[in-house]
Structure 1
Amino acid sequence: MRQARIHHHDRLPRWQVPKPFSTLRIAVRRPAPPRGDTPVRAADTRRHYTSCLPVLIIAAVAILAFSGGTGMSWLPLLAVGPALAAATSGPWGVLRVGVLAVALGAALGLHDGAPGSDQAIVLSTLSAVTLASSLAGALRRRRERVLAAVRSVAEAAQHAFLKPVPATVGPFQTAVHYSAAAAEARIGGDLYALVPTPYGVRLIVGDVRGKGLPAVGIAALVLGVFREAAYDEPDLLDVVHRIERSLARNLGPDDFVTAVLAGYPEAGRMELVNCGHAAPLLVHDAGVLPVEPVRPAPPLGLRALADEAPGLQEITLHEGNQLLFYTDGVTEARDHGRQFYPLVERLSQHISPEPSRTLAALHEDLLAHVGGELHDDAAMLLLRKAADAPSEVPDAPDLPAGRLPCPPVAAEQEHRTDGVRCGGAPGGGYRW
């Protein structure tokens, strides 16, 4: 979830709110939230600012009435204070604002010598608005408590659904960041899992078609099958087949899941199976390069339509290399000019030896790109091959335009089976 950190703040008791002028002082003193602060803290800050508005409105009406010499004509505007307070305060806070409005109304009426009948009508109106606003504030507080309970359930479901990834798994430093489009729900249709198994570290990153509860149910199904099959199946392709068979029994005709699975069966060798998902990004001394699938395969759940099985791809990972898995909620995020987020370029700028710092910087940059709010689920999982000793791998050569390095094993497989052209001898070269 968002590799969800929930910030707990000191809150007032259920039915207690600050006195009006205390609220005003708190709102004035409270600084604006720093850039990148959590939505929860930003919302709390906005609430503190808006809680002073009823007092400001009542004060403005009183100043106009006392200085303008217009008699009772301004007094109905005092009802705006308690009405607005219902949106930011509990019932007792609304009553305090209402009492302030009624007292000022009575003082203004006496000051201007208003007829008793007119003054009684105005004060009765202010009292009625105050009582109605207090009831509205009580109902709003009740709904907020219900929403808080739902959020706590969502938080518990998050930890069962998307289990936290430890900072170190096998030979890798790891980090993950998850942002649901429905921020209050904490859970979306993107999925990830990373587990150590008897056959090495294995992971999956995927994206379910659609959003909401149906997508969450499919994502939970995929993760459950993956976690079981990853321990049972020696071959990574068999893990994919297990997931495919399960989805064939449970998916609707229009449902599918794009996913990339990876395994690290032995030192230096990473296996990848890409089922219609965005290509992982390999970070090494030569820069950031997408690991495009040698043999593209359809998303999970659509194999029966395409009648094409996924292929196994192997790449070499040296010490210090990093591999970023992500979903299309990252690359398809648009700015105000409708430009997509340039992940490859930004990853090159924010890469660091600590995966958690890299993802934190990417997330901040992504929010700045879209203007502060994502409109799709977004997940990123970063692996870094731990560098226990200085690497003696030579720097990668300058690459011709439009060419990507073929890992030795992958290049041999391409020459053997798929006929993809690679420059140089089998076992190395360039693919385009």
Structure 2
Amino acid sequence: MSHILLVIPIGLIVIIAAVDLALPRSVHLGPLLVVAPALTASFAGPRCTAAIGALALAADVVSGLGQGVLRSSEHNVEMLALFAVSAVVVVFRVVHERHLAVLHQVRSVSEIAQRVLLRPLPRRVGPLRIASIYLAAAAEARIGGDLYAAARTDGVTRLLIGDVRGKGLPAISDAAASLCAFREASHGPTTLPELMTRMETSLCQNLTEHAETDTDAQECFVTAAVAEIPDAEPKVHVIACGHPPPLLLRGNRVLTLQPDQVAPPLGLELLTESEPRPATFPFEPGDILLLYTDGVIEARDRTGTFFDLPAHLGERAGEDAGTLVERLRERLFEHVNGHLHDDTAMIAVERLATPEP
């Protein structure tokens, strides 16, 4: 694309030189040639910018010869200025290219880190079809404050979604500690309350270690919701720790799975005082369970109106989990006019009539 755009500065050089030769000696357009290398620097690399600067300098020499002012002091100053500006924009492009290379490396590392932390969820486990989506608020970011995971053991599927409240390395470390604790505990013979307690213990230990070197660690905690779905029973068990309750889509009805007991967020050292109790809700074939972070329901449009997730969720017309999540993503971006102000994650779980062979 940049090679095609080179036609513009080359055309400007030719036009300026031709018009300059046609005008009287008292009118000189040579100073306008500086536009060509400056314009080239906006889209091309340093080599192309230097080549356009050299071409503009050559055109200025030809123009000076044609008008008979090549050896005049005014023309010499003009050529020196053109050379200086061309050199400056070339140096600018060199520095810019180096910054782009560093940024590319940082993006690659952050993308790898995200893949390690947020492993892709399976599309099909047992009688469940799963679809997920993660949207970072920062356009250049690959790692945000939201997290999700899935674990499978003994005919039971467990799903985690959470939101780290904090910033910097402590927030990323808390997300890693929560995910590791969830994955480790889910594969063992642990109940859902025991799972949350182990996540709380792991997160508090992680926060204590970071508090010695980073004062921001004291402000970190994690809101989380865990859903346990057995294969043999049309039920779902939910524990919410300061997290928005899941939504259940049954036909065109949207039900809020609000547990009777909402536990405090993880990391505040309050969960160990009273073990949370899971709430049980019907989850029948054809139903879709939606887990989400508050970045969805707190997204605002230009007028300050929040995104009405239940209303958009209830517009389902025979959609499966994957199609539903994609439609919600499109509606969310339309609502915020393409600019998210908080990280967003959603997991849609559809119970099928027949389990996976």
**TM-score interval w.r.t. the shorter chain?**
0.7 to 0.9
**Which of 132, 139, 145 pairs up with 1:176?**
132
Q: 2:2 touches 2:43 (CA, 8 Å); kept in 1? A: no
Note if contact 2:145-2:165 (Cα within 8 Å) is conserved in structure 1.
Answer: yes
Q: 2:290, 2:348 within 8 Å by CA — same for their partners in 1?
A: yes
In structure 2, what residue type is equivalent to 1:256? F
CA contact (8 A) 1:351 1:358 kept: no
Q: Quick check: 2:200–2:271 contact (8 Å CA) kept in 1?
A: no
Q: Distance in 2 between matches of 1:353 and 1:363?
A: 14
Contact 1:332 1:341 in 2 (8 A): yes
CA 1:305/1:165 → structure 2, altered by over 3 Å: closer, same or farther?
Answer: closer
| CA-CA distance at 1:149 after TM superposition | 1.9
Quote how far apart the aligned CAs of 1:309 are.
4.1
Distance 1:133 1:236, change over 3 A: same
The one-letter code of the counterpart of 2:145 is G
Once the two structures are TM-superposed, the CA of residue 164 in structure 1 deviates from its matched residue by 0.6
- 1:216-273 Cα deviation digits (max 9, x unpaired): 1110110000000111243111100111112222224322111000111342111000
Residue 268 of structure 2, aligned match among 289, 293, 302: 302
Query: Judging changes above 3 Å, is the alpha-carbon distance between structure 1 residues 64 and 208 closer, same or farther for their aligned structure 2 residues?
Result: farther
TM-score with structure 2 setting the length = 0.86
SS at structure 1 position matched to 2:270: helix
Name the structure 1 match of 2:240: 274
Cα distance in 1 for partners of 2:159, 2:130 equals 11
> Which segment drifts farther, 338-347 or 56-65?
56-65
Query: Which position in structure 2 is the counterpart of 1:23?
Result: 5
User: Residue 260 in 1 paired to residue 242 in 2?
Assistant: no
Shift of 1:320: 0.8
The answer on 1:326 being equivalent to 2:320 is: no
Contact 1:180 1:186 in 2 (8 A): yes
2:227 partner letter: A
- Superposed CA deviations along residues 44-73 of structure 1, whole A, max 9, x for unmatched, are xxxxxxxx5x55765786688678879566
Shift of 1:353: 3.1
Work out the CA distance in 2 between the residues paired with 1:310 and 1:63. Answer: 82
User: Equivalent residues in 2 for 1:187-198 (5 A)?
Assistant: 187-198=143-154
- Name the structure 1 match of 2:211: none
Shift of 1:378: 0.7
Partner residue in 2 for 1:98: 53
| Other-structure match for 1:11 | none
Equivalent position of 1:359 in the other structure = 325
Alignment partner of 2:315: what SS?
helix
Tell me, in whole angstroms, the C-alpha distance in 2 between the residues paired with 1:292 and 1:61.
Answer: 72
In 2 relative to 1, CA 226–61 (structure 1 residues): closer, same or farther, beyond 3 Å?
Answer: farther
Conserved? CA contact 1:298–1:310, under 8 Å:
no
Which of the pair has the greater relative contact order for Cα pairs under 8 Å at 6+ separation? 2
Match of 2:311 among 317, 324, 345: 345
What 5-or-longer segments of structure 1 have no aligned partner?
1-16, 26-51, 390-432
2:213 maps to which residue?
none
Out of 306-315 and 87-96, give the one that drifted further. Answer: 306-315
1:177 to partner: Cα distance:
0.5
3-state DSSP of counterpart to 2:314: helix
Structure 1 position 369, deviation (Å)? 1.5
- Give the Cα separation in 2 of the matches to 1:170 and 1:109: 81
Q: How many aligned positions are there?
A: 344
Cα deviation, 1:118-173, whole Å, max 9, x if unaligned, reads 22221222122222222221222222222222222222212111001121122111
* Alignment partner of 1:85 is 2:51: no
Alignment of 1:139-158 (within 5 A): 139-158=95-114
Per the alignment, residue 217 of structure 1 pairs with 173
- CA change 1:56–1:334 in 2 (3 A) is farther
- Post-superposition offset of 1:212: 3.6
Give 1:327 shift: 0.6
Matches of 2:266 and 2:119 in 1, distance apart? 22
Q: CA deviation at 1:358?
A: 1.8
Contact 1:199 1:234 in 2 (8 A): no
Q: Does 1:167 align with 2:123?
A: yes
Partners in 1 of 2:313 and 2:65 — Cα distance? 69
In 2, distance between residues paired with 1:64 and 1:378? 57
Q: State the TM-score, normalized to the length of structure 1.
A: 0.72
Helix, strand or coil for the counterpart of 2:197? helix
Instruction: State the 1:210 CA deviation.
Output: 2.5
Which is further off, 59-68 or 333-342? 59-68
Match of 2:141 in 1: 185
Relative to structure 1, is the Cα distance of residues 237 and 373 closer, same or farther in structure 2, using a 3 angstrom cutoff? same
